[in-house]
Amino acid sequence: MRADARKNRDHLLAVAGTAITEQGVDVSLRDIARRADVGLATLLRHFPTREALLDALLRTSFDELTARAAELETSSSPEDALVSWLRDCVAWTTEYRGVTVLMAAAIEDTESALHASCVTLRAAGARLLTRAQAAGMARSDIDGTDLFALVAALAWLGDQPSLAPRADHLFDVVASAILTSAGSSHAKRERRPRARS
Amino acid sequence: MRADARKNRDHLLAVAGTAITEQGVDVSLRDIARRADVGLATLLRHFPTREALLDALLRTSFDELTARAAELETSSSPEDALVSWLRDCVAWTTEYRGVTVLMAAAIEDTESALHASCVTLRAAGARLLTRAQAAGMARSDIDGTDLFALVAALAWLGDQPSLAPRADHLFDVVASAILTSAGSSHAKRERRPRARS
DNA sequence: CGCTTATTCGGATCAGCGATCCACATAAAC
DNA sequence: GTTTATGTGGATCGCTGATCCGAATAAGCG
């Protein structure tokens, strides 16, 4: 890559980081290009899609989260490791308003630039979940995909200005649902008469 | 209102209903106008914003949901009433892909055309919740706003193609969190050492 | 019925978006 | 210093919702 191209790329990433922190991931790409004193076409050549830009921008964060999962796996109890990692994930998304929707779309879109990162994240969560389940600390009827979905839903809550104030509390509510049902009587109560067809 | 205006309004509502069912609430207003053989300006005069259009279109559904809440309040046990009403709410949103985001925004935006409907819905849920709490069937540390947020989050899950397959299962998980903590030991387990500041 | 008036309509236009094209500028290689 | 491969960004496209205003028309009245 040519030196000037590299410089533009790096500068664009820096500016994009600022813009996204300020305005969320839906910020206009034109705005980012303007703030970087660069043509829109240049931004779009370096990062052909919004997902590609985010992938470059967030890769470090993704890596940190997966590393943190590995670390917690050896340093904490299965229960604490799972819950505090989930908490970290949700807390992280608050720095990038709107990223949850893109991640939810990317997790099953193999063409998305964010796909690989999302899959890796889900796998990291699945490991912690399996460990907690093996220890009897987490309900056994959920898997990594369920966990990903729950974290996404909680992160989405935090993205909605009107619901965000409850996000922390509802995290605890959902966390209790993941943890507490392990072998409890609820597994039986849970079987309700009949779902509305 | 002049006869031709009324006709256009009704026709637009019918066409909008079809279009939104097919493509979700983010369908282009221009498309709706085109399909109704009407100018875009005409659509926007009858319904100045997307929210206004949805409000007119969904008012019936909103009324049905609140009526159903009242009905369940007298016909079912506090627990069943709450859970099956929540299930109805989530199921209803699946007919209008994307409506959840607009409702979350509208619940605290008094200017939104959807505001009143959302507030009414939250109140209906709050009544069922309070009743279940009084009967000791629902955890007491949540309120109507929390309930609204949880339903919104579950509905949002159903809107995401990649997460939708788990939505039903995760509804049960969340429902168990709402119900099962009533006086159980979990209330105590729940107090975790310390949330990350 | 014909005239007037208030209402409604929709084509045209605007600013915004992301995507794409291509003449031009320039770093790098020789 | 010249050549060449690479990078750039203004211009343009099709799309979005919002707005304006001359033309069309329904309703009211003599």
**Structural domains of chain B sorted by starting position, each given as residue range(s) with its CATH number in brackets:** 1-48 (1.10.10), 49-178 (1.10.357.10)
Q: Which nucleotide is nearest to B37 (CA to C1')?
A: C10
Q: Inspect the interface and report whether the beta carbons of A180 and B189 lie closer than 8 Å.
A: yes
The C-alpha atoms of residue A86 and residue A153 are separated, in whole angstroms, by 12
Q: Look at residue B184 in the predicted model and tell me its pLDDT.
A: 44
Classify the phi-psi angles of B191: left when phi > 0, otherwise alpha if psi is within -120 to 50, otherwise beta.
beta
Among residues of chain B, what percentage have pLDDT more than 70? 91
- Protein-proximal positions, strand C, CB < 7 A: 7-12, 16-22, 26-28
Task: Output the CA angle B108-B112-B117, nearest 5 degrees.
Answer: 75
Dihedral (C-alpha) B117, B123, B124, B127: value to the nearest 10 degrees?
A: 180
CA-based nearest distance B178→chain A, Å: 8
Q: Look at residue B72 in the predicted model and tell me its pLDDT.
A: 98
The C-alpha atoms of residue A141 and residue A133 are separated, in whole angstroms, by 9
User: B184 versus A65: which is more confidently predicted?
Assistant: A65
Task: Determine the distance from the C-alpha atom of residue A23 to the mean position of all C-alpha atoms in its chain, rounded to a whole number.
Answer: 18
Taking residues B30-59, report their average pLDDT: 98
In angstroms, what CA-CA distances link A167 with A49, A76, A195, B89, B149? 30, 24, 28, 20, 8
Question: Which of B84, B177, B179 is opposite residue A196, by nearest beta carbon?
Answer: B84
- A166 close contact with B: CB closer than 8 A: yes
CA A3 → C1' D7, Å?
10
The b-or-e profile of B24-57 (16+ CB within 10 A means b, else e) is: ebebebeebbeebebeeeebbebbeebbebbbbb
- Do the beta carbons of residue A174 and residue A151 sit within 8 Å? no
Q: Inspect the interface and report whether the beta carbons of B87 and A195 lie closer than 8 Å.
A: yes
Q: Look at residue B1 in the predicted model and tell me its pLDDT.
A: 87
Q: Look at residue B181 in the predicted model and tell me its pLDDT.
A: 52
- A196 close contact with B: CB closer than 8 A: yes
Say whether the CB atom of A1 is under 7 angstroms from strand D.
yes
Question: Which of B101, B154, B176 is opposite residue A190, by nearest beta carbon?
Answer: B176
- A183 chain-B contacts, CB cut-off 8 A: none
CA B71 → C1' D8, Å?
66
Residue of B nearest to A102 (CA): B160
Show pLDDT as tens, one digit a residue, over chain A (197 residues). 899 999 999 999 999 999 999 999 999 999 999 999 999 999 999 999 999 999 999 999 999 999 999 999 999 999 999 999 999 999 999 999 999 999 999 999 999 999 999 999 999 999 999 999 999 999 999 999 999 999 999 999 999 999 999 999 999 999 999 997 544 434 434 334 443 33
pLDDT bin (cut points 50, 70, 90) of residue B189 is very low
- A77 close contact with B: CB closer than 8 A: no
pLDDT over threshold 80, residue B90: yes
Q: Inspect the interface and report whether the beta carbons of B146 and A153 lie closer than 8 Å.
A: no
- Do the beta carbons of residue A15 and residue A36 sit within 8 Å? yes
Question: Which of A156, A186, A189 is opposite residue B156, by nearest beta carbon?
Answer: A156
